[in-house]
Amino acid sequence: MATHDGYRAVTADLRTPRTAAGRALLDRLTGHLPAIRDGARPADREGAFRTEVFAALRAGGVLGATVPRELGGLGVTSLHDVALALTTVAEADASTALALHMQLSRGLTFTHEWRHGDDGPRALAERLLRGMGSGEAVVCTTVKDAPGGRVATRLRPAPDGGWVLTGRKTLASMAPFATDFVVSAQVEVAGVARSAAAVLSRGTPGLTVLDNWDGLGMRASGTVDVVLEDCPIRAGDVFLRGPVGEQSDASLAGQTVSSITMLGIYAGVAQAARDVVVAELAKRGGLSAAAAATRTLLAEIEARLYALRTTVAGTLSVADWLAYGFDGDPAERGRRMMADFQCAKLMVNRLAPDIVSDCLVVIGGASYAGAHPLSRLYRDVRAGAFMHPFTYPDAVDWLSEAVLGGPKA
């Protein structure tokens, strides 16, 4: 698919939505962008989650964008269009985009559960989706156990037939605004340790959302810890998965759908840095006043940004086809989606920081001040390397084993 930007044709680029629902989402976001952009610097300096921004996004129907239309949402399913929306928000503020990703990605994964799951998980997914579509539910997913914990987060049976949840999760973005939490845990069923995801509301006894985020970057994303002390969980509010440690290639598709749109965030950060440079050079006299080294760096920035955006957009196009158009072996789908995702992620994690770094070189010492927008972008762009799946060492292991035909560790 080709689009146009001025005088040149662009293939597979993050500029134009692919679906009517994606266009509707961008239209709804447009009015929020000035407020997101204007408040980015003070929120970053204070490390404060932007509750007022998310309240406005909620009221405007943005937080229900990936909920099916029949359940009250916009019905956005295209991974390309979700990533484009995140790119657009990240150009204004990456922290807001990262937190927004939490809600949008849950809509995508719950929709799959609703359309293809068994009766119990399907009913649970529908309840959450209807809440998201109406604006009542804002869902934070917590996966990673807090470091230093003695045991993994666990579910155990309760006398009333339900469950009790205990543990501590970390890096839970958007948690300060969430009304509901989906918490990864382990549970023993019929003598077998299984993975699970427990669903609980913010008012559940024993649930505490801490105010402990003090990150290097993404400082306004509300990426805090969540403490769970004997939280009661209803019997039907648990998604049961496979045995702990079991590797399923088919499940790689779900992991990809849940996370691949985050690539758009770092494309947005790189684009924002480039735009800052262009604007400042224009103030300094434009091309005629630029030294040869500055022109060289500017050309390198433009070429890398083109490579970054086309890599992400091309990968998302294939992922959309594999997710919604491929009717072959589910295990093959999962392997292909994850392999493409990881190749693209490695390139994004290399290209985006390089672009922002070169932008600092062009601007010079002024960009090293905390008040300069490039300072925030330089810190925010580093977060991409830590996002799962996978971090760099795990990605190297997975991709090299995939190439050589070895087992997935």
pLDDT tens, per residue, the chain with 409 residues? 444 455 554 557 888 999 999 999 999 999 999 999 999 999 999 999 999 999 999 999 999 999 999 999 999 999 999 999 999 999 999 999 999 999 999 999 999 999 998 999 999 999 999 999 999 999 999 999 988 655 689 999 999 999 999 999 999 999 999 999 999 999 998 889 999 999 999 999 999 999 999 999 999 999 999 999 999 999 999 999 889 888 889 999 999 999 999 999 999 999 999 999 999 998 888 777 778 989 999 999 999 999 999 999 999 999 999 999 999 999 999 999 999 999 999 999 999 999 999 999 999 999 999 899 999 999 999 999 989 899 999 999 999 988 888 654 4
Q: For residue 272, give Cα distances in angstroms to 5, 113, 344, 356.
A: 17, 35, 20, 9
Q: Please report the pLDDT score of residue 403 as a whole number.
A: 86
Q: For residue 183, give Cα distances in angstroms to 197, 228, 231, 240.
A: 5, 10, 11, 12
Would the CA dihedral through 190, 193, 197, 203 be positive or negative? Answer: positive
Structure tokens given for 371: 């008040």
* Residue 233: Cβ within 10 Å count: 22
Pairing status of strand 207-209 against strand 154-157: unpaired
Q: Please report the pLDDT score of residue 87 as a whole number.
A: 98
Cα gap 383→298, rounded to integer Å: 24
**What type of residue sits at position 189?**
V
Q: Are 23 and 80 in contact (CB under 8 A)?
A: no
Q: Please report the pLDDT score of residue 404 as a whole number.
A: 87
* Chain mean position to CA 37: 19
Q: Are 301 and 354 in contact (CB under 8 A)?
A: no
Q: Please report the pLDDT score of residue 352 as a whole number.
A: 98
Structure tokens given for 55: 């309240």
For tokens 């964008």, the residue is 65
Q: Are 127 and 237 in contact (CB under 8 A)?
A: no
Cα gap 107→113, rounded to integer Å: 10
Cα gap 403→339, rounded to integer Å: 9
Structure tokens given for 118: 């068994």
Cα gap 321→367, rounded to integer Å: 41
Is this prediction's pTM over 0.85? yes
Cα gap 364→358, rounded to integer Å: 10
